[in-house]
Structure 1
Amino acid sequence: MIKVAKYDDPHDACAAVVAESYRLWLQYETRTDDITIIVVHVNGLNQTADVENAYDAPLKSLPQVVEATGSESPFAITLNSKTNRFRHGLSRTQLKAIENSLDSAHTWVPPYASYRKTWEEEAHIERVLRDHFLFRRLTDSQNHVLLDCMQRMEVKPGDLVVEQGGEGECFYVVGNGEFEVVAAQEEGMEVVTKVLHRYTAENLSSFGELAFMYNKPLQASVRAVTPGTLWALRREDFRAILLSEFSNISSLKLLRSIEPFSRLTILQLSRISECLVEVSFSDGQKIIDKGESLSGLYVIRKGHVRLTFYIDTLSPGACCQFSCYLDKRTENQESHEHVVELTDGNHFGEWTLMGESVTSLSAVSVGDSLCSIITKEKFDSAVGSAPNHIKLQDSLGSSRDSVLCSDAITCKTITSSDLDWKMSIYATDCSEIGNVHLKGTDTIGCLKRFSRRKIKELGKKAQVLKEKELLLSLGGSIGVPLVICTFADQFYVGILFNCCLACPLSTVLSTPLDEYSAKFCAASLVVVLQELHKNSVLHRGICADVVMLDQTGHLQLVDFRFSKKLIDERTFTICGVANSLAPEIVLGKGHGFAADWWALGVLTYFMLQAEMPFGLGAENEAETSAKITSGILTLPQTFSTEAADFITKLLDANEITRLGSEGADSVKAHSWFNGINWTGVADGTLPVPREIGSRLEAFLQSRAVEVVEPALPTQEPCELSSPEWLEDW
């Protein structure tokens, strides 16, 4: 926000507004295409003080524009004592900047200065930047960091610094030498190269501002005329310096990583961050004792906390939360107490924000620890009541539902009569996947049920049994939900999972994803495939229709009908999704794990383009197969260099040289994944990108209106005693 009243000359006031708007555009990529400035000159008001005193005077004339921001359309305000002339809270531009920072997978670190600047060089750079509108409003500390980030660049005559048609990523200050701006322009039927401008150190020249705005083709080239020196500032460093004024980024990142808060807006997270209270605990100090109720949500910032509880007395919300700590839990066989030790970044007490009380829990600090606490009262005042904000609105109705956890039902055998089928999410030739509600509870889960009649008619007995065994062996691993139980009735055989699915990935891909969202999904599948291949499982079904999104936005695999446990290095069965088949499968040459990496390449292309790279097999399978085996791939120019290289190397027709043929680590090491937090991807703590979350939420809200209870099956029931293979199901 700027005040123009301090300027004596209206031209200076206009220049200040434009400069601030342009700075915000560069900083936050908030477009302000049209800036309208109205300056009213009042005779007799010669001093700034006169103008400021006029704020409290009653005015009957039209309101004057005295303030403007680059993130809003120009607006008018009435100059009186009740006018709220300053924005309270975060502006839209600040919210977007923080959002970009939270979605970033790594923390910015200033680049190492390989060359120490002399005081003359620093003074020259400061003179150039002093009156430049981009840097005019930086603080002294930001200017010091910016100066350190300027990297020395030596050039020879004829060197191209930036090239017409390319994408710039740096801002340059001319240290010494002469540079010319050249552009190829059409004159009649010819293309003529013209020199448009010259830059020199004597003129305090600089160039490259557009690199800080967006990645668009440059309209001219800059070429060195003489030997010279440039000082370069990268876009990434500039934006990080601008963001350095936000001191609560780390708190917002921590809050975003907590599942109940992953769907909240940045503004809501910021309000919660302001309500957090930090409390220190010494070794052995009781945080909460049995018989007492927690006052709020506890987030462990440092140290360890040991929780002791009885699983049978937990509320549904608490049971749901503790299901994610199953691998850390131990059980006292005599007292039946469960013990789990939590560490940095873990949290407990989520149920308090939903109004639930648990008195069978005790918490003790192990060593010195530090927790951030927010009470239900503070939470409600910051974002409203918990059920409306914590739980993603879903098609199952109740916002208080929790996901099935195995401990919640260890003493009870689940049958089909215990479940209410709510909605179908995905179907194959003989199976159907949907969400179910456990009767008499607030618990939901995912059920994969196979039609007994279809199994018999299609001869799928062996395939169904193989898929069941794979799901049981892989359940609970990365990207594969845990199997709670299996059961059979007159119509179906079923597998119950401890997750709540939302839709196939293809549902949110009607338009291309932004690159970071596509990268998030691809990275998630890389760690899933790494785990499958480590267990000798070839999937052969990776595609947008088979990969599922759960209601938190994370990817899950529950369809293993094409999968196979590889005993040898190759298998020769031709199966899979037609437009995602690798060339070696199509040609029947035998295939191995490299076929899964090809499918990942096809899916990555689809996520970024919303089209298949080789066409739709359903329309013309022969033509699609020919394109796949030809080895010819055309990529859109909209793909970034790194994304194009990643896809090209995955869609290598030669499986020996294909990216991934040497294992998942080679895929992780590709430059497209630079900065990805692989640990966060594997353990599910990396926040789901906002674009995926917003698309998923829009789908679920629309689906909630459409859901109806399914009709009873019309097929004739099969005898439960036959066939024999059902006895051990």
Structure 2
Amino acid sequence: MGVALVEFLDQAVAHKPLDASDCTTLEFAKRELSRLRRVTAKVVKVLRDADNAVKQHAEHQNGFMKENSVLNGQAKANKADLLEKYRPKSTRSRSAPASNTDRDQKNPQEDEAGRRDSKASSSTPMTGCSQSTEKRNHVKGRSKSRTKSRSKSKARNKKKKSNKKRKNLSVDLSYQKYIKQTYDKSPEDRDLIKSALKNNQLFENFRDAQLEEFVDVFSPESFEEGSTVVRQATHGNTFYIVKSGTLKIYVDTIIDGRKMETQVGEPYGSGSAFGELALLYDSPRVATIRASEACVFWVIDRTAFKGLQLQLKQADHNIKLEHLKRVKVGNQMFADVLDDDQLERMALATQFENFKDGKAIFKEGEIGSNFYMIVTGQVDVYKDGGDYPINHLGPDTYFGERALLQSDGGCRTATCVAKTDVECLTLSREDFTDLLGSLDEIMVGRRQSLSLRQSSGDLIAPKAADLLSDDLGGDQGFTSYTLDGLKIKGVLGEGAFGRVHLAKGRQDGRLYALKAQGKHHIATNGSQTKVISEFGIMTDLNHPLI
């Protein structure tokens, strides 16, 4: 009932803005209020019926438990009577011993006779008692075997359930090998599908060019009048767009203890779409949808959707990387300043943005922090309020790159206006700094590290300028030493991979921690790559303590 009720409520507000902005007239508002009251009344009735059913079930259970308790009491009483009936007489006589007074009043001769009778009875086999004991042992044995059988059955059922759960948790990765297959469509059909996709929340973040890719893979499918297109609680993997025909929506409800189909929402017609959740995961359908007349659909399944989505994301990522590598800030290109990992992270922070023809992307004198790379379209550049552009920018060009530099004031030096519809890649200075740090420092550090790598082979350890000092007038590069230019003062530490010495510069008196590793040890352990990588990282870092 819970799923049916949720679907009923969902259909009642489907495609309706929550702020009621579509209620533009009083008459329309009255109709919506009337519909809302009918929905509320039906929901209240369903909830009341469900509450009554729960109460009836609870009363039935209480009556059953009371009756069961009475039967158990009678069974116990009958069992006690039977045990007493079939218990041997000698056992019954011992079960009710005489009091001390009675024993004192007994005749000694009767007492002696009683002892003789007792000896005689103990020497003869107690047939009734042994039969009763064997019977009880047999019942206990049967009970134990039944308990073991039930335990094994429960274990088998539990194992089956766990195996079933494991199967349900398996992930279908077939979409990773998806090969795009297109179907011919008329221009009208393409416009119908694209319009339905734009109005669907699942596709709202895809660009027009990507929506065209999805339109290509929709295939036609038909249903006769009265056919069930989608059945509630069944699993599906198809998303439907109605080309022609009408369909009605039903949900399963329980009324007076009986399961019934209740029609909800407005019928679907041409241009309507449903079943988008099936493209994301294998979940049960939440309603039954039945054709009121012969219908024709455009459909796409989960494999095609996920496969094409993955391909589009990969294509976008490659486009971002190619554009970023060609960007030049000052005299250096990003491909030279940033390594592959930094470029990958930078691409993740880059977003697509569209501008209409005649839209001012930014104006001269504004404080800006976004950098733009043109994918498609044309941009005109104006300066000093002129009426004629001083430059024209096209695809694979970029502008506003100095906004990424913190040293730059962020003030735009020109006005950029979209000459045509433009699609750009945008990157903000804030995102860049959060991911990679200051571009100013990255450029300085990479320039210095490149120069160091090209220096002589007797380079021992680079030294960065004291960037934390208020006095930036000194040397902000690295300091190079030969081994003779350092004086070893002592051992700071020793580990499995080498030894760290305290070293002092003979000329400037600066102190360093100098790491030393034996070539033979490095070659024996195959650590050449690690050592070179560590040296590269240390030279890339721009820090006052390195």
| Same fold per superposition (TM over 0.5) | no
Larger radius of gyration: 2
TM-score (norm 1): 0.23
TM-score (norm 2): 0.29
The structure where helix makes up a greater share of residues is 2
